[in-house]
Structure 1
């Protein structure tokens, strides 16, 4: 589906976004508000982890992750973030609005934020979320992208009910549901990982930096028919790498692709076509993994996390993703991880749920995406 097809019946984005001329003023809690800055990384880490602990969220962050947050060149902290500071100089609340440069099918604004548990109940969260929604609408309107548009925020299934009620009062509706799954790695003799044989010219290889962008192109193709997914630019793809584990990441190459057939396929995207013409390697399946040591104590076990897994659509049914994931499970187990973990859209269209069940993955907890569609 082309961009013109998706946008032909839409009103202009500036009208649909209904952006306010001015952002609301925040007065609750007697906090002083200003944009977040790189020097706030340590204080913001403490605030976010305190909120995560209070709300029983199954993760914690590190200073490296917070530092990386400020390094992405597309983020505009001066206009798209706020921190609330009390009289003693402590961060007590924060908000961020993030839009992605690669959006080509739906232009999105994601809203993140939270309030320290010691200052809740004073109306800070309500005013802060009103600011986020208003700023998100401004960001969408200013994008100039005549596409379907979305304001979005996330909630764990066991988030405080007051948080979900707040989102719903602002018009957000649960739109998508996600499951976190885990697979026991402690006894691979009792629960063996399958041996996967690839056919034809497909070959499993360890992740290598020179194949990184080819993996990005494979991911953009694999997730083109997944709801809510958008292409990733090269700079988006290489961000959020502080927890990346190359030794747990595997790729499947087609060493002798039918270039003419792929170039003739109308579903082959322009970047892949250019890479094929240049004779660059074709990644057709991938499994990218992370290691979040800070989460081990929270969850009560060590684990390796599959952050990205997929197969190019033209290669589905040939076990490329299964081969990459099986290799990752063995690598995680060899490094002493007790479990393998991943997250999946409950409405995933690629048949991934059946593959995960066959490998012994089980549900641990869920989350939801709440949106306003514009």
Structure 2
């Protein structure tokens, strides 16, 4: 559907005047979160992730990032429930990406402490997030296709059923893949291209290359300088690589890695994580992606890592899933993007 055929976003989003607050009958008191709540929120997330057997753990630093970015409004876009003892029992947050240019999106995230489940808290949080997200869409001023988005692990059947009951449907499937580093793939040098370590001087060129490389990926939207900087906080510079065209000095491709040490005990092994890999269209088909992956894997192994891991959209138009499989990566677990299209 072309943008010209869309009804005004304020009409399509149908926002409530006030997002519905959870009822008093749930036995919790509710208020917005602030950065001062980060330690308690990190503790709550840890209890949720452990109970749900999530393949990751959220650190305090990652929790603090929820409150960073001048486009965020925690006073309006977060909600937390506290029990009679003052302990945080549930949370919800909705966020946007200021660079959205093809579709405007609001991302939903929340959770309920295991001992507070089974009485409707999760359902109430989803209703509040839906309402606040629709307000954000309506006030965005972007007359574009729009969607509400939530990412859920395959194994979290309860959460998937909760969002499905609220009108969300599966839109995209992702797999997390891993490869042992006992041996490394052979990468043929790419003529006219040098693969080198990432440097701060190259970072904005990498950001622009990323926005271009992912322009043809479903659901991908440009990242602003500030959004890129926030997203890149977890990246490991010594494990990240940039492919530079020797003749022009342009960034042809890039691979950014992350070091999630808090996840190693959960996984039962150490690993380097490839957060994002991209090759600009004029340089595709020359083996640059393989060269970047091989170089990053060598760096992981040099630092004693046992595995390389990454995540991939199963319908990635570049054929990335097949590429990773051919390099020895195997599926470890999966997740699903649920959306409401507006």
Q: TM-score, normalised by structure 2?
A: 0.97
**Structure 1 residue 313, shift from structure 2 partner:** 1.3
1:171 maps to which of 158, 167, 174: 167
Task: Give secondary structure in 1 for the equivalent of 2:230.
Answer: coil
What SS does structure 2 have at the residue aligned with 1:353? helix
Residue 266 of structure 1 is matched in structure 2 by: none
The residue aligned with 1:344 is: 312
Q: CA–CA distance in 2 between the matches of 1:147 and 1:59?
A: 34
1:72, distance to aligned residue in structure 2 (A)? 2.2
Q: In structure 1, which of residues 107, 123, 133 is the aligned counterpart of residue 120 of structure 2?
A: 123
Spell out the pairing of 1:282-321 with structure 2 (5 A cutoff).
282-321=250-289
Matching of residues 79-94 of structure 1 within 5 Å: 79-94=76-91
Task: Note the C-alpha offset of 1:322.
Answer: 1.7
Secondary structure of 2:64's counterpart equals helix
1:25 Cα deviation after fit: 2.4
Give yes or no for contact 1:284–1:311 (8 Å, CA) kept in 2.
Answer: yes
Question: Secondary structure, in 3 states, of the residue corresponding to 2:98?
Answer: coil
RMSD over aligned Cα atoms: 1.2
Q: 2:63 aligns with which of 56, 62, 66?
A: 66
C-alpha contact 1:95 1:132 (8 A) present in aligned 2: yes
Give the 5 Å matches for 1:75-224: 75-159=72-156, 161-185=157-181, 187-188=182-183, 192-200=184-192, 202-224=193-215
Tell me the CA shift for residue 242 of structure 1: 4.1
* Cα pair 1:64 1:242 within 8 Å, conserved: no
Deviation sequence 1:82-122 (CA, Å, 0-9, x none): 01111211110000001110000010001100100011111
CA distance in 2, matches of 1:31, 1:296: 34
**Whole-Å Cα distance in 1 between the matches of residues 203 and 296 of structure 2?**
17
Contact 2:187–2:290 (8 Å) recurs in 1: no
Q: Distance in 2 between matches of 1:70 and 1:14?
A: 26
Partners of 1:324 and 1:282 in 2: CA distance: 16
Distance apart, 1:61 and its partner CA: 1.1
Structure 2 runs not aligned, ≥5 long:
none
Given the alignment of the two structures, is residue 34 of structure 1 paired with residue 61 of structure 2, yes or no?
no
Contact 1:285 1:321 in 2 (8 A): yes
What is the total number of aligned residue pairs between the two structures? 341
Q: For residues 48-78 of structure 1, give each alpha carbon's deviation from its aligned partner in whole angstroms, at most 9, with x where no partner exists.
A: 1111111111000111111222222221101
Counterpart secondary structure, 1:108: strand
Structure 1 spans left out of the alignment, 5+ residues: 258-280
Q: 1:359 aligns with which of 314, 324, 327?
A: 327
TM-score, structure 1 as length reference: 0.89
